[in-house]
Amino acid sequence: MARIIGGLGTTHVPSIGNAIAKGLQKDPYWRPFFSGFDYVHGWLAREKPDVAVVFYNDHGLNFFLDKLPTFAIGAAKEYRNEDEGWGLPVSKSAAGIPELSWHIIEKLVGDEFDVTMCQDMLVDHAVTIPMALMWPGPAAWPVKIVPIAINTVQHPLPSLARCLRLGRSVGRAIESYDADLKVLIVGTGGLSHQLDGERAGFINREFDTLCLDKLTVDPTALTQYSIVDFVEQAGAQGVEFLNWMAMRGALTGRTQELHRNYHIPISNTAAATVVLENRPLPQRKAA
Ligand SMILES: [Fe+2]
């Protein structure tokens, strides 16, 4: 059966892609953020995942406001990027694993998550930047991906509880997939930030810390926040944390935080990188 090795949460701000393209990783402004990935590189080299299931939000490359599914899953052989603006170079493509995508889709619909199925899907910086951070350099990425897009853009948004349950359903689906695969779960976006309006530039370190603390040990506690509450505490775009909730939900075993890096600001965003271990629960003895 497929095995979930752990979860990674990371910010996906477009300016990170520009910093990579310009080789600014050791620049004094960028070093505190990029150095947070030194641990990640060692962990991934040891764990060697075969697949990454990536919870993210699309910013208008594949879906726009005219048609915006709440949950959408890729079931393609390949996921291309295109020119998104932002000055970002077009990224290399990511390989897909449609057999696993369809298995997850079957299980999600069985769990009454009516997802949009995408056999052709572009992925934007919310997928490609985390991939480039995890596996830097020009070589092809060493994993196949299953991209799962959550609407964090056009209200009404799904609740934190709904995204946690979505992740749990995805986790159960992965663990019932009959293949010897090691699977990494990724959640991208956040943390606190607001791009426009009177609160443009808003960051809330205290609330980010609370979210990261609860994420590992008690994610259900965060479901007390409505989307409006969450926007108030984390900013209009801070709701990208929904992707982190889904990532955490997919960790079905004993979860422990192995690594955390939190740095303010990257662009106008509180940047965070977290690695969570997922250890299998002990098997119950037959009575
Ligand atoms: Fe974003």
Instruction: Find the 285 Cα to ligand 1 centroid distance in Å.
Output: 45
Instruction: Find the 269 Cα to ligand 1 centroid distance in Å.
Output: 10
Stated pTM of the model: 0.97
pLDDT of residue 283: 73
Percent of the chain at pLDDT exceeding 70: 99
- State the catalytic residues: 125, 193
* Residue 124 confidence class, pLDDT cut points 50, 70, 90: very high
pLDDT of residue 285: 66
With a cut of 60, say whether residue 287 has pLDDT above it.
no
* Residue of 167, 171, 94 lying closest to 129 (CA atoms): 94
* Residue of 142, 128, 154, 1 lying closest to 56 (CA atoms): 128
Report d(CA 267, CA 201) in Å as an integer: 9
Instruction: Find the 228 Cα to ligand 1 centroid distance in Å.
Output: 18
* Residue of 207, 215, 211 lying closest to 256 (CA atoms): 215
Residues surrounding ion ligand 1 at CB below 5 Å? 189
Please state the rounded mean pLDDT for residues 127-134: 98
Q: What is the mean pLDDT of the chain?
A: 96
Cβ neighbours of 198 (radius 10 Å): 6
Please state the rounded mean pLDDT for residues 147-152: 98
Instruction: Find the 271 Cα to ligand 1 centroid distance in Å.
Output: 12
Instruction: Find the 240 Cα to ligand 1 centroid distance in Å.
Output: 7
Percent of the chain at pLDDT exceeding 90: 95
* Residue 87 confidence class, pLDDT cut points 50, 70, 90: confident
pLDDT of residue 282: 81
pLDDT of residue 284: 67
Instruction: Tell me if residue 226 falls in helix, strand or coil.
Output: coil
pLDDT of residue 127: 98
93: exposed, middle or buried (C-beta count within 10 Å: 0-12, 13-18, 19+)?
A: middle
Phi, psi of 187 (to 5 degrees): -125, 130
With a cut of 60, say whether residue 206 has pLDDT above it.
yes
- Contact criterion met (CB below 8 Å) for 225 and 157: no
Instruction: Find the 59 Cα to ligand 1 centroid distance in Å.
Output: 7
Instruction: Find the 282 Cα to ligand 1 centroid distance in Å.
Output: 37
Instruction: Find the 189 Cα to ligand 1 centroid distance in Å.
Output: 5
Report d(CA 184, CA 4) in Å as an integer: 6
Please state the rounded mean pLDDT for residues 254-283: 94
- Contact criterion met (CB below 8 Å) for 190 and 262: no
Output the six-digit token pair for 196.
């426009």
Buried (b) or exposed (e) across 38-65, using 16+ Cβ within 10 A?
eebeebbeeeebbbbbbbbbbbebbbee
Instruction: Find the 243 Cα to ligand 1 centroid distance in Å.
Output: 10
